[in-house]
Amino acid sequence: MRPRRRVIICSIHYIPEVVGVGRYSGDLAEYFVARGHDVAVITAPPHYPSWKVNPPYSGRRWMKEMVGGVIAYRCPIWVHSEMRGFRRLLAPASFALSAGPVAFWQILTRRPHVVLVVEPTLLIAPFAILAAKLVRARAILHVQDLEVDAAFAVGHLGGGGLLERCGAFFERVMTSAFDRVITISHRMAEKLRTKGVPDARLRVIRNWVDLDHIKPMPPSRRYRGELGLKDDDFVVLYAGTVGAKQGIRLLIDAARELQDKAGVVFVIAGEGPMRPELERAAAKMRNFRVIGFQPEARLGEFLSIADVHVLPQQRAAADLVLPSKLGGMLASGRRIIITADPGTELADFVQHCCALTPPGDGSALARAIVTYRCEPVCETKVAERLALAQTLSKDDIVLAFEQAALFSDVDPNGRATAELIPSR
């Protein structure tokens, strides 16, 4: 039987955020509690991906609440609906300033066995690492997003210059100070090696999907009816954050090319900085629908309305993030089109069970959609997608994460006693 651990998680994103990092940090915290561990979370009020804090939460005050058996300390954060340029830096900086002292004090008083910092944001790391060393806790970094590289790659903070060099230096110093670094892809692990993280401290554990919640099912006629879709519409579905890294403009370009293809309907379900631009496009195109996030309890049913899922991504962000929404797409069994270049980890991971088109090429995406519309569903490919989804099973992966983060799997000589989770 495993011993009980005291754990403090520092994550700017946390439930009830329904997508991205917040969802996974929430899953981990609740899993740890279910396994008998004592968990507290230092976080911000929910604000992503809309970049807006809604009541009863406030971005201006501290609060404490119990969420799913976990004590969550909510710390102030500054956000703006237009999170570009230095505004994108001010949000994590404001959180680090408000949450850093809270994390430091909670670590000193609770004396946890493990301090788990989730990137984003790395700016809280100095507080967490120092306090962890003072109480002799293991300091673990969970890299969900190489935020420094991504911020410059997609143009949030320009490119080159003193700011980028300072960011790279800070990142290198911080990542090398953790006892263990866990990330979600092998390419991200390779980049972390170049930033000074030795192999003995590095683990790859992918994000997961709840296969009990999302599974293949017949297209939901009821759900289609609720959304005003016809039974014979060919539905192209994107569900998730709508922001710069996602390359969402590609969907507008493809829909524009397919306006004359009767029955092809794009459905975009999500929130984020590009939502207004998508709504303007929807006002001009009858084959383009924009809706909000759908209820979590109906996610499996909602994903079943798709004839094809689309996963766009900017070329500049390739291998800096691994889109977590892919797991749900695979688990639904539906056909998937991914905008990724051959040789990227995303392309290598899906191999031949999904269609690939070049990032930024709306015409190529439109052609792939038309091809899928004309072809019958290949049951062999369906089976391959479901088998790939099985490798992302939540039950298996969160158990592996508990082992890597809360218990030592390195022998006294520094040799790993647990293998890296393979890419397939």
Q: Would you place residue 50 in the very low, low, confident or very high pLDDT band (cuts 50, 70, 90)?
A: confident
Over residues 95-112, the mean pLDDT reads 97
**Three-class SS state of 409:** coil
Query: Which residue is listed with tokens 């109480």?
Result: 135
Q: Would you place residue 336 in the very low, low, confident or very high pLDDT band (cuts 50, 70, 90)?
A: very high
- Judged against a pLDDT cut of 90, whether residue 202 lies above it is answered with yes
Over residues 225-233, the mean pLDDT reads 93
Least confident among 108-117, 145-154, 301-310: 145-154
Whether pTM > 0.75 for this model: the answer is: yes
Q: Is the peptide bond before 126 cis (omega within 30 degrees of 0)?
A: no
Q: Would you place residue 409 in the very low, low, confident or very high pLDDT band (cuts 50, 70, 90)?
A: low
For position 219, what pLDDT does the model report? Answer: 87
Over residues 188-203, the mean pLDDT reads 93
Q: Is 283 exposed, middle or buried (0-12, 13-18, 19+ CB in 10 A)?
A: exposed
Q: CA 174 to CA 122: how far, in whole Å?
A: 8
Over residues 210-227, the mean pLDDT reads 93
- Judged against a pLDDT cut of 50, whether residue 11 lies above it is answered with yes
Query: Which residue is listed with tokens 């143009």?
Result: 155
Contacts of 238 (CB under 8 A, 6+ apart): 248, 251, 266, 267, 268, 269, 270, 309, 310, 311, 312
For position 337, what pLDDT does the model report? Answer: 97
C-alpha distances in Å from residue 129, one per residue of 123, 124, 140, 167, 330: 11, 9, 9, 18, 37
pLDDT tens readout for residues 257-295: 999 888 999 999 999 888 999 999 999 999 999 999 999
Give me the CATH topology for the region 6-208+393-406. Answer: Rossmann fold (3.40.50)
Query: Which residue is listed with tokens 């829909």?
Result: 255
C-alpha distances in Å from residue 139, one per residue of 133, 174, 344: 8, 11, 30
DSSP class of residue 284? H
Q: Is 284 exposed, middle or buried (0-12, 13-18, 19+ CB in 10 A)?
A: exposed
CB atoms within 10 A of CB 400: 18
Short-list 245, 88, 103, CA closest to 167: 88
Cα-to-chain-centroid distance, residue 16? 14
Whether 107 and 131 have beta carbons less than 8 Å apart is answered as yes
Over residues 120-128, the mean pLDDT reads 95
Over residues 85-97, the mean pLDDT reads 87
Least confident among 63-67, 134-138, 217-221: 217-221
For position 158, what pLDDT does the model report? Answer: 60
Q: Would you place residue 421 in the very low, low, confident or very high pLDDT band (cuts 50, 70, 90)?
A: very low
Least confident among 138-152, 219-233, 354-368: 138-152
CB atoms within 10 A of CB 417: 9
CATH of domain 221-390: 3.40.50.2000
- Judged against a pLDDT cut of 60, whether residue 417 lies above it is answered with no
Mean of the per-residue pLDDT values of the chain:
90
Longest Cα–Cα distance in the chain: 66
CB atoms within 10 A of CB 55: 6
Strands (DSSP E) found in 241-395: 264-269, 288-291, 308-311, 335-339, 355-357
For position 105, what pLDDT does the model report? Answer: 98
**Three-class SS state of 12:** coil
Question: Which ranges in the chain are annotated with CATH 3.40.50.2000?
Answer: 6-208+393-406, 221-390
